[in-house]
Every structure is written in structure tokens, then in C-alpha cells.
Chain A
Amino acid sequence: MVELSSGLQDGYVLQIRGLTYRLPTGATLVSGLNLNVGRGETLVLLGRSGSGKTTTLKLINRLLEPTQGEILVSGRSTASWDPIRLRRGIGYVIQDSGLFPHWNVERNVALVPKLERWPAKRIRARVIEMLELVGLPPAEFAKRRPSELSGGQKQRVGVARALAADPPILLMDEPFGALDPVTRAELQREFRALATRLEKTIVFVTHDVREALLLGTRIALLDQGRLIGTYSPQEFLDASEPHVRAFAASLQSVEGLDQIQ
């Protein structure tokens, strides 16, 4: 973990330079992407399905390898990282939680600390700390199996697992996408508070404009693998580009509904 946070000269934890990803079939999923993410920043990758958001995320932790361009983590190209070391320094939360069904909550959260061979005592303390952080009382939840959790609880455990080894970077792929609206709003609020407090560098993928505006310190709008632009939430609402308007309009249509009622 120390390796990941050291060696920062220009303040960016994550730099994406000319990133292109092409499938063997020739389809281009990400095209010439340039992005910088600073420490403590939550960058939201916003876009429709197939805009290359998830692909970009997987290129960052090298679940996919770039066709062209490079990604610098702590000023160092991910290509020069050992992928296993790189990933253990980057928390990863996905929509379907991906919790291991044969392990209880405690063991799931302990995943990376255990892989990193922390002493057992430190792992236990850390698991308790993490479960409290995500609002799951350890006494009640530590021994439960994922099958005994609700969707929202699973995602909380997913976040706890991603944070367990205290990685400086967190990648989140529509973590709240499969939740009911009430639970989603609850987790979004809590996550926003958490993100501010923990000062992690977060890349957050969503197709939900509300979520992007609520959680993002900056919003990067993607369309067909290309970056349309990056905006602060306020700039996003004020922007006049058609792509941005299309997204902002989806927001207004909901607000329009409020007026009807």
C-alpha cells in the first residue's frame, strides 16, 4: 500500500493518457481518453451503456490491458506494476457485490489483509473497524453468510472489503445500481460522507445523473468511448453541449413530474 501512495510529484494519484482499448474484433470501446484524478477526488464516469465506463475502470486495475496509451498510478505506469500488487492497492466494488458466497462477512472483508498476510489480530481489529464504518454492527453481521444479507447490506460489505487494506484508490462500478431507490439514496448519502472523510481517490462509474451530481467532485461524461468533457456538478448543470443537455434533461423530466403532482 505504501508503494501506491508514495512517489507523487504532480499531485495526481491517477493519470490516464491517450487511453485506447480495442477488442480483437476491431470494435473500439475506449478511444483516446485523457483524465487526471487528484487525491481525495471523486471522479464520476458518466455515460450510457456501452460508453466505455466499465472498460475504463477495468483498464485501471489491469483486468484489461490498454491497446494504446497508458495509465499512471502514483506517477508510475500501470504496465510496470505487478498486476497483483497494483490491484491490492486499489479497492474494487462492483454492482453484483461479488462477495464470496462460501465465506462469512468477516472472512470476505478480511480478503486483502489476509492475502497481504497481516497478523490475525490486526485483521480482526480492522474487520471490526470496517464493518462499523459501513454501518453493519460486527456482533450481528460478522458471522453471516452473504446469502443472509439484503442487497444493500451486501454492497456495504463490498465497500468494507474494498477499504479493508486501506488502498489510496477506490474503483466503483455502479455499486448502488441494483438497489431499490430508498436503499440506494441511503447508501449514496452515507457513501458521500465516507468519501469526504476518508480522502480516497475514487473513480465511480454510473449512468445515473443524480448519482453523478450527488457523489462526484467532478463528472467525466463519456460517449461511445470518447470523453465529451469533465465538469464540476455545477458546470454540468450549466453546460450547453448537447450530450450534457441530454443527460441533464433526463433529470428535469423527473423534476417536471414533481410539478404535475
Chain B
Amino acid sequence: MNWFEFLLRNRGEVLARSVEHIGLVAASMGIALLIGLPLGIALVRRDRAQRWVLSAANIVQTIPSLALFGFLIPVPWIGGVGASTAIVALALYALLPILRNTCTGIAGVDPAVIEAARGMGMTQRQLLWQVQLPLAAPVLLAGIRVATVISIGVATIAAAIGAGGLGVFIFRGVAMVNNQVILAGAIPAALLAVVVDLSLGAFQRSLAQK
């Protein structure tokens, strides 16, 4: 029996785990965007604060993912074993690319455009929504793309703390010393990452062309 037959025979569980996996990634990306975008926007033109926040996000990024999951388990409210802890950890990982690209994207807008916008009487809010964000959109989206792909990969480790997802197959396969079981988790996860990367990439290019 090769891994493909195994996958077909267990398609019910593979599908259920894939849905779980997507759920983990979607929830964590949602949280990361909700925090990262406004925070990134707030940090534009606040150089010192920006350095601090980006360094903090950088440090989070360097913590090995398995360790981060472990660290979060004893934390009250968000911790414990299960999906919610995993979602928090994944959101923390996704934060850096989103924050960094929000800051660099907005900072990269032509200063002449900003000066004209302000000089013609746009309010800060109008400047942000009508000028800075649309012009930063391709860079912003690049950050979201990187963050999502990382999340899909790291989310396989979430199974270690009982969060489910495609990692369940991988850990089970490792325990059973059975490559077919490992591949039943690894291949759908890889496919998922490739599909998301390609489609967000296409969207990004269409934005850049506009």
C-alpha cells in the first residue's frame, strides 16, 4: 500500500484534518491581521516605538515553534491544551511579516504624493484610506502571503498540543514509524501552502498592476 492509497482510504479523516488545519490558519491569520494592521499603521512615523515592536515580534519569531506552543500552555485564559492555544501561537508568528510589511509599505509611498495630499487638504484619515493604504497594498499583501504560508507549515506542529489539523497524521506517523501516515499529513499541508501562495501571489500582481 503506497501513501496515495492510504490517503484515499482515509480520505474522510484527511478531509476533516484539512478543514481543522485551514480553520487554525484562518483564525490565527484573522487575529494577526486585526492586531498587526492597526498596530503597523500606528507605528508609521513613530520610529522608536516601531523599532521596539518589530524587535519584539522578531524575538517571537526566533522561538522554536514547538517551544512556543509549550510556553503558552500554562498561560491563563489563552493557554491550555487545544486549538485556542495553537491559534494564539500561530497569530504571534504571523505578526512579524504583517507588521513589518505594513510599516515598510506605508513608509515606501512617494513623499511627494504625501506632501501633495496633505497640502491639498486631506485629513490624516483620508490620507491613510485613500492614499497610503491603496499604495501600500501590494507590499502589505506580500506580508500577508508570507505569514499565511508560514502559518500553514507551523500549524502542523499544533497537533503536539492537541489542536488537531494535518499535523495529527505527521505525529502519528512518527510514532508508528510509518511514512505513509506522515505523508498523509505532510502532502496535503504542502499542497495547501502552494495553492495559497500561488493564489495570493496572483492577487498581489493584479493589485500591483492596477
Contact = CB atoms under 8 A, between A and B. Distances in A.
B119 A61 contact: yes
Given A87-B119, A94-B119, A115-B126, A102 B210 contact: yes
A183 B121 CA distance: 29
Interface size class of B (residues with CB under 8 A): 10 to 19
A94 B112 contact: yes
B109 to A, nearest CB: 9
B123 A84 contact: yes
Contact of A96 (B112, B117, B120, B122): B112
A85 interface: yes
Contacts of B130: 100
A97 interface: yes
B116 interface: yes
Contacts of B110: 96, 98, 101
B113 interface: yes
Interface string B90-116: 000000000000000000001011111
Interface residues of A, number: 26
Contacts, number: 63
A63 interface: yes
B19 to A, nearest CB: 37
Interface in A93-108: 94-102
Given A101-B110, A102-B134, A102-B135, A84 B121 contact: yes
Query: Nearest 3 A-B pairs (CB), nearest first?
Result: A98-B116, A88-B121, A87-B121
Given A87-B121, A94-B119, 4 more contacts: A58-B119, A63-B115, A95-B112, A171-B119
Interface of A: 58, 61, 63, 84-88, 91-92, 94-102, 111-112, 115, 158, 161-162, 171
20 contacts: A58-B119, A61-B119, A63-B118, A85-B121, A87-B119, A87-B121, A91-B120, A92-B119, A92-B120, A94-B112, A96-B110, A97-B112, A98-B113, A98-B116, A99-B116, A100-B135, A101-B110, A111-B122, A115-B121, A115-B126
